[in-house]
Amino acid sequence: MKKKLLAGVLALATLFTCSVTAVACSQKENQPEQSVEQTANNKMENEFSTKFVNTKHVKLMAATPMVASEDSVSQTLVATITPSTATNKKVDWSVSWLDSSVAGGKTVTDYVTVTPLSDGSLTATVTCYQAFEHDILVTVTTREGGFQADCIVTFTGIPASMSITSSTLSPTSGNTYGLGVGLDYDFDINLSNAFGVVGEKYHDYTVGVQATGTLTVGTLEDDPRASAGVWYNERTASLSEFTDQILEYSVEGDILHVKFKKSIEGFYSSMVRNGSVKTYYDRVKSVDAPCSFLIQVNVKEIGASFNARITVVIDSTVVTGVEMTPTLEF
């Protein structure tokens, strides 16, 4: 058997990712092997990096996205033999532990299998059935000449789905929740995949908010001696101008914290007192279009292409406190 000519490192995860296309590579016989690293564009479907050592005979590179079923995920490996004019292009596929000494006697095909499209086919399906700890090696061998190319398959636990839920609140519709002003709310961030094992590095998030709504705001001069306040500098404003003053949000672990700090109706950005006269700046005079906040949580390791969202609105029917006369006299 000839010395192995290529090793491809393929990060495989929950949504099993092992898709490789073999492409001819023209190098001189005495030229040293070269490493090429590749990263998939859509990490939500193809979260992997591949490191290939190109030689004169064969090159493997990432290709098609994974296909998931109820109990497994699969990807396709395609090999290309060089030169393209070779008569016998038949190959054999095999799978083994990269280091059998650390596998503890486990049967590799209980975790990963490789199945050619037909006898000697250059195309094979690699299927993952359960999470595994140690790397697995997929090898393709030419029947003529015994040239080989390898793909190292690693399980990292990539999430396949993501959701945000509440154990204490029910959505008013879809993923919209009504919240009371001044109250703290916690939402669960849920990650899952076909194997029920999500890697720790995927539990790191970024969060952003998009505000929707239109307001009429202005400067209100409120003099208790006058019959009514005086408005001036009125303008139309987007709710997004005041997001940070109205809404508080953060992520800690797998928990999304949300709190409306202020109500939208009656909101003002600042107030100056001059004697008994109060002047409110950016005071909301009217709400001209429905107001809501769309909160999006992204898995940092994957990016904005993999996310979950909820919409929050102020619910004026929610009890936020109670008051009464502090003293009585008889």
With 50 as the cut, is the pLDDT of residue 53 above it?
Answer: no
Query: pLDDT tens digits, residue range 75-119?
Result: 888 888 888 899 999 999 999 999 999 988 999 999 999 999 999
Are 93 and 123 a contacting pair, CB within 8 Å? no
pLDDT value, residue 318: 81
With 90 as the cut, is the pLDDT of residue 195 above it?
Answer: no
Q: Residue 68's pLDDT band (boundaries 50, 70, 90)?
A: low
Give the chain's length. Answer: 330
Are 314 and 260 a contacting pair, CB within 8 Å? yes
pLDDT value, residue 172: 93
With 60 as the cut, is the pLDDT of residue 31 above it?
Answer: no
For residue 221, give the amino acid letter. E
Q: What's the rounded Cα separation, in Å, for the pair 57 and 149? A: 9
With 90 as the cut, is the pLDDT of residue 220 above it?
Answer: yes
Token pair belonging to 299:
């898995």
With 80 as the cut, is the pLDDT of residue 49 above it?
Answer: no
In this structure, of 54-58, 99-103, 208-212, 221-225, the range with the lowest mean pLDDT score is: 54-58
In this structure, of 122-131, 203-212, 233-242, the range with the lowest mean pLDDT score is: 122-131
With 50 as the cut, is the pLDDT of residue 38 above it?
Answer: no
Most confident range (mean pLDDT) of 57-61, 73-77, 295-299, 322-326 is: 295-299
With 90 as the cut, is the pLDDT of residue 268 above it?
Answer: yes
Q: What's the rounded Cα separation, in Å, for the pair 181 and 238? A: 20
Q: Residue 13's pLDDT band (boundaries 50, 70, 90)?
A: very low
Per-chain mean pLDDT for the chain: 82
Report percent pLDDT > 90 for the chain: 57
pLDDT value, residue 214: 97
Q: What's the rounded Cα separation, in Å, for the pair 149 and 8? A: 8
Report percent pLDDT > 70 for the chain: 79
- The pTM of the full predicted model, rounded to 2 decimals, is 0.73
Three-state secondary structure of the chain: CCCCCCEEEEEECCCCCCCEEECCCCCCCCCCCEEEEEECCCCCCCCCEEEEEECCCCCEEECCCCEECCCCEEEEEECCCCCCCCCCCCEEEEEEECCHHHCCCCCHHHCEEEEECCCCCCEEEEEECCCCCCCEEEEEEECCCCCEEEEEEEECCCCCEEEEECCCCCCCECCEEEECECCEEEEEEEEECCCCCCCHHHCCEEEEEEEEEEEEEEEEEECCCCCCCEEEEEEEEEHHHHHHHHEEEEEECCEEEEEECCCCCCCCCEEEEECCEEEEEEEEEEEEEEEEEEEEEEECCCEEEEEEEEEEEECCCCCCCCCCCCCCCC
Query: pLDDT tens digits, residue range 125-183?
Result: 989 999 898 999 999 999 999 998 888 888 888 888 999 999 999 999 999 999 999 99
Q: What's the rounded Cα separation, in Å, for the pair 62 and 77? A: 8
pLDDT value, residue 7: 37
